Amino acid sequence: MNEHKEQLCVAHATEILGDKWTPKLVLALSQGCSGFCAMQDESGINPRTLSMRLAKLESMGIVDKNNEKYILTKKGLDLVPILEAMAAWGNKHYAGKNDK
């Protein structure tokens, strides 16, 4: 992959993961959270923003919505390893600084 293309492809991922709350949200979804209010409680995100995030995720094919339950699609599940890599990075470079 050349540099230019790499930047373009990264842009697709950051369009999702760059939104505030979304990484946390995808993680919550990957851990079995599926209801609106459950996510709200779990993440502390306000209803307005949560609604906007879920709508965007749905429109981009990251989550499927079925009778008010949200689940990650394959495309969404493919995001999880990235989040885990991020977590590993944070853990490595901030270990013990604020994870209690």
Partner DNA sequence: CCGAATCCAAAGCGATACTG
Partner DNA sequence: CAGTATCGCTTTGGATTCGG
Q: Which residue has the tokens 């979804």?
A: 29
Could you list the residues that contact its own copies (CB under 8 A)?
1, 3, 5-14, 17-20, 23-24, 27, 31, 75, 78-79, 81-94, 98-99
Helix (H) or strand (E) holding 56, with range, is: helix 47-59
Q: How crowded is the C-beta side of 45, counted as CA atoms within 13 Å?
A: 24
Shorter beta-carbon distance to DNA: residue 15 or 84: 15
Binders of DNA in range 46-75 (CB under 7 A)? 46-49, 51-52, 54-55, 65, 68-70
Residue numbers of the site for DNA (CB under 7 A)?
19-21, 35-38, 41, 45-49, 51-52, 54-55, 65, 68-70
